[in-house]
Structure 1
Amino acid sequence: MSASLLRAARGPSTTFFRANIIAAARPQPLAARAGLVAPSLVALATSPFSTTNRLRAEHQEETFEEFSARYEKEFEGVQDVFELQRNLNNAFAYDLVPSPSVLTAALKAARRVNDFPTAVRIFEGIKAKVENKGQYEQYLNELKPIREELGIVLKEDLYPEEQK
């Protein structure tokens, strides 16, 4: 069978023109229906592709104290492992090391949802974020009471042969 017979059996192909049919069937904005906007601008506004950002997020600078208070509140409301890990990822994504109060709230949240591995990983995150070993030691000293209270062991203590 030739390709022309196959096309004839299937009928004419309209896939190339389908995007135009959908765009033409899309309802116009209210301002365009009222005649307040030029038709050329309506075509740009209803285009599924855009080269400019429609919404600009204007965020205020957040102080370290506001950041700490926000994340302490976030960790106090954690109810499952997913929320805990999502909040930890968000907190560690910034160019700063979270305060000990935030980390304490995170450790308590890890205990509340019974997630020991994440509690150990919090200390690995601290170690990765600090600039030097001295800062890491300061965090360990500051968080020692909560570590002892919750029974959290550091990775260095669990696997002493892997120290570098």
Structure 2
Amino acid sequence: MSPSTLLRVAARGASSTFVRANVVRQPLVARARVPAIVANSFSTSARRCVHEEETFEEFTSRFEKEFEQVQDVFELQRNLNNAFAYDLVPAPSVIVAALNAARRVNDFATAVRVFEAIKAKVETPAQYQQYLDELAPLREEFGIHTKEELFPEEK
């Protein structure tokens, strides 16, 4: 067909020469009902259960396991966002697991940001100092400096 013939056919609309397939439509009731939340979800991952009634020990062990399974930077940052989203400060053992995961995926910047998140999450500077003291050997081993050490404020 020449391009002008195609244009004429397209402009004319549906022709009686084309045979339309007879499509049998099923009524809406017979179709499987999918909840709107699942149908409109853009996520390809499995649904995660909500941990409403969880003790601090269960929270700690859950995030330690999740940080042990981290394989890339995205997973590390997602788990850190989830851990710091709660109304509590993660235990030092969770922070150790997160720093080990940052070391494993070779992400120095995220390791520094972990300490920024702790500083933002604790209530007093004394609590932040306790975390720094507790994690000092690991910080020295990995060569992680806090933001205050990297960029001292001029007075």
TM-score, reference length from structure 1:
0.66
* Alignment length (residue pairs): 122
Q: C-alpha displacement at 1:91, in angstroms?
A: 0.2
Instruction: Quote the Cα distance in structure 1 between the aligned partners of 2:111 and 2:83.
Output: 14
Q: C-alpha displacement at 1:119, in angstroms?
A: 0.1
Say if 2:29 is the partner of 1:28.
Answer: yes
Partner of 1:36: none
The equivalences for 1:6-85 within 5 A come to 27-29=28-30, 60-85=52-77
Q: C-alpha displacement at 1:87, in angstroms?
A: 0.2
More helix by share: 1
What are the ranges of 5 or more consecutive residues in structure 1 without an aligned counterpart? 1-8, 12-23, 31-44, 49-56
Q: C-alpha displacement at 1:25, in angstroms?
A: 6.3
What are the ranges of 5 or more consecutive residues in structure 2 without an aligned counterpart? 1-10, 14-24, 37-48
Q: C-alpha displacement at 1:161, in angstroms?
A: 1.7
The equivalences for 1:94-109 within 5 A come to 94-109=86-101
Partner of 1:53: none
Q: C-alpha displacement at 1:27, in angstroms?
A: 2.5
Partner of 1:137: 129
Q: C-alpha displacement at 1:159, in angstroms?
A: 0.3
* Cα offsets for 1:5-47 (capped at 9, x unmatched): xxxx999xxxxxxxxxxxx9653148xxxxxxxxxxxxxx899
Helix, strand or coil: the match of 1:160? coil
Instruction: Quote the Cα distance in structure 1 between the aligned partners of 2:56 and 2:71.
Output: 25
Instruction: Quote the Cα distance in structure 2 between the aligned partners of 1:58 and 1:106.
Output: 21
Instruction: Quote the Cα distance in structure 1 between the aligned partners of 2:35 and 2:74.
Output: 37
Higher relative contact order (CA 8 A, sep 6+): 2
- Decide whether the 8 Å contact of 1:97 with 1:126 is kept in 2: yes
